[in-house]
Amino acid sequence: MCAAVGARAGVKRQPAFVAQWRTVVVTERDRLREKVPDLAATAARPLAMRGVPRQVTLPGWTGPTFFSSELGEGRLRTIEAFAPALAESSNVSGWVLGSVRDPMAWSAEEAVAAFVVQRGTGHVVLVDLEHGGRPTYVNASAGLFLDAIDVFLQWWETWRRRDPEVRRLRDDLTRLDVSALASADHYWPHWIDDLKDFG
């Protein structure tokens, strides 16, 4: 969850960047190991073959985790099981790939947002678990979401807070999935705007 999404969710503090740069920390990957009846093969295949990062932290970023897997034991949970009250009020149905966790929260066990593969469309959306509201569009598919994470993390390792580098990230993400950058209200444009503010 980027600072803009966090601000919309009511998080008051602004994440800061630390001058020291290290490699992005990506722990092992969790892979889908069981068949999910209503999950399309186009979503199931990349989750089984590539998997999702168990946890991603960004060096220098003091905000919430970039991504924490919810594919423990190789199983997908529905958003209805993960956050029952919110699933109904936000009108989202699907499977939780991962979450965003705020290390500064009172309970590190509780996710503040969840990345969900929507039932039917296969789109990945970000659901604010603290305040609800309309989900934020992320990517057109689970495979494209994993590709976008890879692009972003490779970019992050070389970013030195210069505007041309932020434009390069936007171009790379657009080439990957044009729908992800089609609206300023989508997830990746929020990140790009935040990065420009810190540039």
What pairs with residue 17 in β-bridges?
61
Q: Bigger pLDDT: 187 or 108? A: 187
Q: Bigger pLDDT: 146 or 109? A: 146
> What's the mean per-residue pLDDT of the chain?
82
State how far the Cα of 100 lies from the Cα of 37, in Å rounded to an integer: 26
Among 33-47, 147-161, 174-188, whose mean pLDDT is lowest? 147-161
Q: Mean of the pLDDT values across residues 119-147?
A: 93
CB neighbour burial string for 175-198, b if at least 16 within 10 angstroms, e if fewer: ebbeebbeeeebbbbbbbebbeee
Residue 41 exposed, middle or buried by CB count within 10 Å (0-12, 13-18, 19+):
exposed
Q: Output the six-digit token pair for 76.
A: 């997908």
Structure pTM?
0.84
The radius of gyration of the chain's CA atoms, rounded to the nearest angstrom, is 16
Q: Domain containing 177: what range?
A: 3-198
Domains held by the chain: number = 1
Kindly give the interhelix angle for 142-158 and 41-49, rounded to the nearest 10 degrees.
Answer: 40
